[in-house]
Amino acid sequence: MSEPRARRLRPVVAIDGPAGAGKSTVTKRVADRLGYTRVDTGALYRAVAFACREQGVDWADAAGTGQVASRLAAPGALSLSTSGPDTKVEILGRDVSGAIRTLDMGQGASIVSAHEPVRAALLDIQRELGRAGGVVLEGRDIGSVVFPDAEAKFYLTASVEVRAERRRLELSAKGTAPPIEQVLSEVLERDRRDSTRPVAPLVQAADAILVDSSGQTVDEVVETIVREVEHIARRLARQEQAR
């Protein structure tokens, strides 16, 4: 179900793409450059996977994971704070920011996010976080499902080899060093699962700008996105002045 087109003074920026494309890093930098709020929607699904694991709910159980997601969607149950360099995630006041960032929880997020009850439970949270505009949201279906009316849409990707190496380096920095073959296999499996799930599959929105970061620096990618968003923001301002 799509949102009616909202009247916003600043754009919603949707950055979608596969695992390891650099969405988190780019989203942070873009939000900082623009002075916008950053919303890591993937953290919501990781939190559901984490809560399911703790409560003994199988990630493949659509009804069970949906019930967990519904409880997390209740007022005060789940909070995201993006004031610092990383997204802080709390479940009932307990900081789980580090616990949800493992490779295992990433796979779990991919599995639970395929369930319609989970996506339905979290949809309103995501839309409320970005409704007023002036936000940068990262995910896999932001431009296609959550905010189909987003004024600025980007699909950020990279070759699977580049994405696997980035993911391996990220995990190594956190104290785990899985072999590249394992990471590559898991990235490929996540790509397959995310792009073939029946509910809100990973797909480039028809009006999204494709950005391939394989041969670009983070600065170059950020500059491309910021330049386009600033152009859109100026257009919105002119439209508002003309009303």
Q: What is the pLDDT of residue 6?
A: 62
Q: How confident is the model at residue 243 (pLDDT cuts 50, 70, 90)?
A: confident
What's the average model confidence in pLDDT over 107-129? 91
The structure tokens 């409320």 sit at: 128
Share of the chain above pLDDT 70, in %: 95
Nearest to 72 by CA among 58, 51, 95: 51
In the chain, ranges of CATH 3.40.50.300 domains: 9-36+133-243, 42-132
Q: What is the pLDDT of residue 5?
A: 56
137 sits in which H/E element: strand 135-139
Q: Cα 84–234–126 angle (5° rounding)?
A: 45
What's the average model confidence in pLDDT over 108-127? 92
Q: What is the pLDDT of residue 142?
A: 93
What's the average model confidence in pLDDT over 94-115? 92
Tell me which fold the domain 42-132 belongs to.
Answer: Rossmann fold (3.40.50)
Residue 130 pLDDT > 50: yes
Q: Is the dihedral of CA 114, 116, 122, 126 positive or negative?
A: positive
Q: What is the pLDDT of residue 232?
A: 95
What's the average model confidence in pLDDT over 39-46? 89
Q: Residue 66 and residue 72: Cα distance in Å, rounded?
A: 10
Q: Cα 117–15–160 angle (5° rounding)?
A: 90
Cα radius of gyration rounded to whole Å, the chain: 17
pLDDT in tens, 176-212: 878 999 999 999 998 998 898 888 888 999 999 999 9
Q: What is the pLDDT of residue 1?
A: 43
Q: How confident is the model at residue 28 (pLDDT cuts 50, 70, 90)?
A: very high
155 sits in which H/E element: strand 152-157
The domain over range 9-36+133-243 is classified in CATH as 3.20.20.70: no
**Cα–Cα distances in Å, from 243 out to 4, 10, 25, 231, 240?**
19, 15, 37, 19, 5
Residue 83 pLDDT > 70: no
What's the average model confidence in pLDDT over 48-52? 98
Share of the chain above pLDDT 90, in %: 63
Q: What is the pLDDT of residue 24?
A: 87
Helix (H, G, I), strand (E, B) or coil at 213: coil
Q: What is the pLDDT of residue 85?
A: 58
What's the average model confidence in pLDDT over 11-38? 93
